[in-house]
């Protein structure tokens, strides 16, 4: 819990979730908060909310409990000290009172000798008796190590990478290097899924497994998520955003989970859209690629658009609408700690009814890439657009017509629509009327329909014209057509 949660964190959570669920196992959430200098207030709750939002509910961990409580590492301090003291008793660890200044001197000495710095070469000959406030170091036995990684294959290193790593820091809290092995053992974890950057530390972990006399876990090393240029690890400077920012931008949790699961994995088919249930069924660690995967924002936007359409067509407009205007009083939203409700509609939509907004959504959803697109793509449904005659007179379809001709076309349209009864203001009837007007005026569809579309929306594009008119309603449609006709006549 050191701050915002980036997409690499989430991919590293998705894969063990899929492994656990596919095997009928338990997905464990553990809060590794031993680096108190980097601890950020509220970051733990952000982890909870992010996992909940994505649908990655944990079976064991904070809040839900489980057989291995506590699941917060700062609350397990006594456990780590007990395990470290056992290593001291076995001669495989020692207390170390060497100052940071002395350690810097050791580094400089090795640099001057042009040899790699290894603390084991400066190990104190007579270490002090351990007491609170003293770090505890592992006493390594340098040797070669071989191991298997589910993604990287069979690996081997020489003794030169083994060192006397710190197990317990001066503040009494463990390092990650020590705590994760103790906890993974006690919590009966099967797979250890983490970034490929930890491969270089694995020999030290293997030495600890041996010294503690506990079995190794199954290692799954995940390659980096790369910047779009493919040359380096994705970072903030490359446009990487936190998961919360993607949520605020209107990315659906289904799309985020789908995209990140497929960022470096595929099931060997052409399929790209997966529900969480499908991912659980089809996921295999053996199909995770062993090289980095490029992050592609265009792809996640495309995938989000696919999910918007999937929800609308399979679950219905009511479900999609609920995603567009979250309320703090909803049963689903009450489970969040710090996530706030988001309304993706324009400010001017707040006074409109739910039914009207659902009608708008039903004809616009297939154009959305994100839910936040609603704020820019639907304003003309809720507020009368500013009449900008240049959009008409400069249109490639309309600029050949005089203002008198355009006024005439609008007049014919107004007269035809004015005769429509309220109960006949339907998709089919409006489409027939527009087609009849097209035949009567002998204009090309692109010309005639462009005039009407611009007059009622002044937007660069809109859904099918008859659908737009139906949702706007008779009164609003006629008022806008009359307003534009008057402006053209007086220009």
Average pLDDT over residues 24-34: 97
Check residues 481 and 6 and name the one with the higher pLDDT.
Answer: 481
Contacts of 210 (CB under 8 A, 6+ apart): none
pLDDT in tens, 413-448: 999 999 999 999 999 999 999 999 999 999 999 999
The topology (CATH level 3) of 390-490 is Arc Repressor Mutant, subunit A (1.10.10)
CATH of domain 73-222: 3.40.50.620
Question: What size, in residues, is the chain?
Answer: 491
pLDDT at 238: 74
H runs (alpha helix) in 126-201: 176-186
pLDDT score recorded for residue 336: 85
pLDDT in tens, 218-241: 999 999 999 988 888 887 777 778
Q: What is the pTM of this model?
A: 0.92
- pLDDT for res 123: 96
**What is the DSSP annotation of 328-378?**
TTSTTGGG-SSPPP-B-S-GGGTTS-HHHHHHHHHHHGGG-SSGGGHHHHS
Q: Tell me, what's the pLDDT at 237?
A: 72
**What pLDDT does residue 38 have?**
92
Q: Where does the chain hold its CATH 1.10.10.350 domain(s)?
A: 390-490
pLDDT digit string, tens, across residues 307-339: 999 999 999 999 999 999 987 555 566 778 889
Q: Per-residue pLDDT for 184 more than 70?
A: yes
What is the overall mean pLDDT for the chain?
95
pLDDT tens sequence across 85-101: 999 999 999 999 999 99
Q: For 442-468, what is each residue's pLDDT tens digit?
A: 999 999 999 999 999 999 889 999 999
Confidence at residue 331, expressed as pLDDT on a 0 to 100 scale: 54
- The reported pLDDT for the residue numbered 332 is 67
For CATH 3.40.50.620, the residue range(s) in the chain are 73-222
pLDDT given for residue 335 in this prediction? 77
Q: Do residues 172 and 78 touch, judged by C-beta distance below 8 A? A: no
Q: Give residue 124's pLDDT band: very low, low, confident or very high (50, 70, 90).
A: very high
4 band by pLDDT with thresholds 50, 70 and 90: confident
């Amino acid at each position: 819990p050191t701050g915002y949660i980036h997409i690499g964190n989430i991919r590293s959570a998705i894969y063990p979730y899929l492994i656990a669920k596919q095997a009928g196992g338990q997905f464990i959430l553990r809060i590794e908060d031993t680096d108190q200098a980097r601890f950020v207030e509220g970051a733990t709750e952000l982890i909870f909310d992010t996992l909940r939002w994505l649908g990655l509910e944990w079976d064991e961990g904070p809040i839900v409990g489980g057989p291995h409580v506590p699941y917060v590492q700062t609350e397990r301090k006594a456990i780590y000290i007990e395990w470290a003291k056992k290593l001291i008793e076995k001669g495989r660890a020692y207390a170390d009172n060497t100052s940071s200044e002395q350690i810097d001197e050791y580094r400089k000495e090795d640099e001057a000798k042009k040899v790699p710095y290894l603390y084991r070469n400066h190990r104190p000959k007579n270490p002090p008796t351990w007491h609170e406030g003293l770090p505890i170091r592992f006493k390594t036995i340098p040797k070669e190590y071989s191991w298997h990684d589910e993604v990287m294959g069979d690996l081997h290193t020489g003794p030169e990478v083994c060192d006397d790593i710190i197990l317990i820091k001066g503040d009494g809290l463990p390092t990650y290097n020590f705590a994760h092995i103790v906890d993974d053992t006690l919590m009966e974890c099967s797979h250890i899924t983490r970034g490929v950057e930890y491969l270089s530390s694995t020999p030290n972990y293997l030495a600890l497994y041996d010294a503690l006399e506990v079995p190794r876990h199954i290692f799954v090393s995940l390659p980096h998520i790369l910047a779009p240029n493919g040359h380096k690890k994705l970072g903030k400077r490359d446009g990487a955003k936190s998961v919360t920012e993607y949520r605020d931008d209107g990315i659906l949790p289904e799309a985020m989970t789908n995209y990140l699961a497929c960022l470096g994995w595929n099931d060997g088919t052409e399929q790209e859209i997966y529900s969480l249930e499908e991912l659980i069924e089809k996921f295999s660690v053996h199909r995770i690629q062993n090289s980095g995967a490029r992050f592609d924002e265009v792809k996640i936007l495309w995938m989000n658009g696919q999910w918007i359409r999937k929800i609308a067509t399979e679950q219905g407009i009511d479900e999609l609408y609920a995603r567009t205007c979250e309320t703090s009083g909803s049963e689903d939203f009450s489970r969040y700690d710090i996530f706030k409700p988001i309304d993706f509609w324009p400010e001017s939509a707040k006074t409109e009814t739910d039914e009207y907004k659902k009608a708008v959504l039903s004809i616009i959803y297939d154009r959305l890439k994100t839910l936040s697109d609603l704020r820019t793509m639907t304003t003309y449904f809720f507020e009368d657009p500013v009449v900008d005659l240049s959009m008409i007179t400069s249109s490639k379809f309309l600029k050949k017509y005089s203002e008198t001709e355009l006024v005439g076309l609008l007049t014919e349209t107004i007269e035809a629509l004015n005769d429509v009864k309220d109960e006949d203001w339907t998709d089919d009837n409006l489409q027939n009327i527009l087609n009849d007007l097209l035949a009567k005026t002998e204009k090309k569809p692109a010309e005639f329909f462009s005039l009407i579309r611009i007059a009622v929306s002044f937007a660069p594009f809109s859904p099918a014209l008859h659908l737009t008119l139906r949702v706007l309603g008779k009164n609003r449609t006629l008022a806008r057509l009359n307003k534009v006709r008057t402006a053209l006549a007086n220009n």
